[in-house]
């Protein structure tokens, strides 16, 4: 099923492998990265839908990884795992954009449930953004003359033109729509 790729970032091998196997048994495609740097590399190719990251990692910390992920993907759910379990850490992580914060030793069932929730959340968000974009689009029609999708000010909307006849360029595609890859399965 779509939206079921998980990236697990933890240097604790056994835990990571067990989690990967467990998630795989439940229909997820899971990959393991042993450090923040590796995780960033994998993000590119794997395009996960959910990320689990330990707070303590060799090299870059889990929080730093979270920040880096947030730089280029504001909606990717990142769940932090930790052996400390301090409230301050949890608050900080959530403020920085973590989806949730789990204490180690972590129950694998709980892990799976979290992945489910995160995925669902992400899908919902995507659906939401699709509809939002469409709604916006529909309230902002393109220019009738040149079909260009620019100039969305209210002025244009009433006039429905943004250009003089000379500006019209042949072969212009009209009404670009949002990517259908993101469209939710109903």
Partner 1 sequence: MVLPTLFVGIQAIRTNALEGGTLEALGQRLAHSRTYAEVEDAMFNQTQVVWRYLSGDPAAKKEFPLTEQVVDFWLDRWAAGLPSGDVKLADGVRKIETDIRGVAARVFKLYDSGQRQAAYLTARQELVERLQPALAEVNREIYRQAREFSVQRAFSQVAAIVATERRVLWSIIFLALVAGLAASWLISRSLARPLNELRHAMAVVGAGDLDHAIEPRSSDEIGDLARAFAQMTEKLRQSRAQLVQSEKLASIGQMAAGVAHGLRNPLASLRAAAQLAQHRVEGPAAREQLNAIIEQVDRLDQRIAHLLAFSRPAPFRPLRESVRALVDGALSGFAELLRQRRIELAVAVPPTLRVSNALDAMSDGGRLEIAAQSQSGEGAADDVLLEITDSGPGIPAEILPNLCEPFFTTRPEGTGLGLAIAKRYVEETGGRLDIASRIGHGTTVRIWLPVASGDTAPTPVRSLT
Q: Is 35 in the site for partner 1 (CB under 8 A)?
A: no
The residue within the footprint of partner 1, chosen from 2, 109, 160, 183 (CB under 8 A), is 109
Q: Is 108 in the site for partner 1 (CB under 8 A)?
A: yes
Using CB under 8 A as the binding rule, whether residue 12 contacts partner 1 is answered as yes
SS3 category, 84? coil
Binding residue (CB under 8 A) for partner 1 from 27, 59, 85, 176: 85
Give the Cα-Cα-Cα angle 40, 45, 81 (nearest 5 degrees).
40
Residue 62 in contact with residue 78, Cβ under 8 Å? no
Q: Which is nearer to partner 1, 63 or 143 (CB)?
A: 63
Report how far residue 162's alpha carbon sits from residue 149's, in angstroms, rounded to the nearest whole number: 9
Choose, by CB under 8 A, the member of 19, 63, 66, 162 that binds partner 1. Answer: 19
Structure tokens at 144: 């009738």
184 lines the binding site for partner 1 (CB under 8 A):
no
Please tell me the distance from the alpha carbon of residue 73 to that of residue 80, in angstroms, as a whole number: 16
In terms of CB distance, is 22 or 130 closer to partner 1? 22
What are the helix (H) ranges across 57-180?
62-72, 87-96, 108-139, 154-159
- x-or-dash string of contact with partner 1, 41-60, rule CB under 8 A: ---------------x----
Measure the CA–CA gap between 110 and 184, rounded to whole angstroms. Answer: 26
Task: Note the residues at the interface with partner 1 (CB under 8 A).
Answer: 12-15, 18-19, 21-22, 25, 56, 81, 83-85, 88, 104-109
């Amino acid at each position: 099923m779509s939206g079921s790729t998980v990236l697990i970032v933890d240097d604790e091998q056994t835990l990571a492998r067990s989690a990967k196997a467990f998630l795989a048994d439940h229909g997820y495609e899971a990959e393991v990265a042993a450090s923040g740097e590796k995780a960033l590399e994998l993000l590119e190719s794997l395009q996960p839908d959910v990320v689990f990251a330990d707070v303590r990692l060799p090299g870059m910390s889990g929080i730093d990884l979270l920040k880096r992920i947030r730089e280029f993907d504001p909606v990717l759910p990142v769940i932090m795992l930790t052996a400390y379990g301090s409230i301050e850490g949890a608050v900080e992580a959530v403020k920085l954009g973590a989806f949730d914060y789990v204490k180690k030793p972590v129950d694998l069932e709980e892990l799976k449930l979290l992945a489910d929730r995160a995925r669902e959340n992400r899908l919902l968000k995507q659906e939401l953004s699709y509809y939002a974009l469409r709604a916006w689009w529909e309230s902002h029609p393109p220019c009738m003359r040149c079909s260009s999708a620019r100039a969305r000010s209210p002025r244009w909307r009433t006039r429905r033109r943004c250009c003089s006849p000379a500006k019209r360029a042949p072969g212009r595609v009209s009404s670009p729509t949002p990517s259908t890859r993101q469209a939710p399965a109903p």
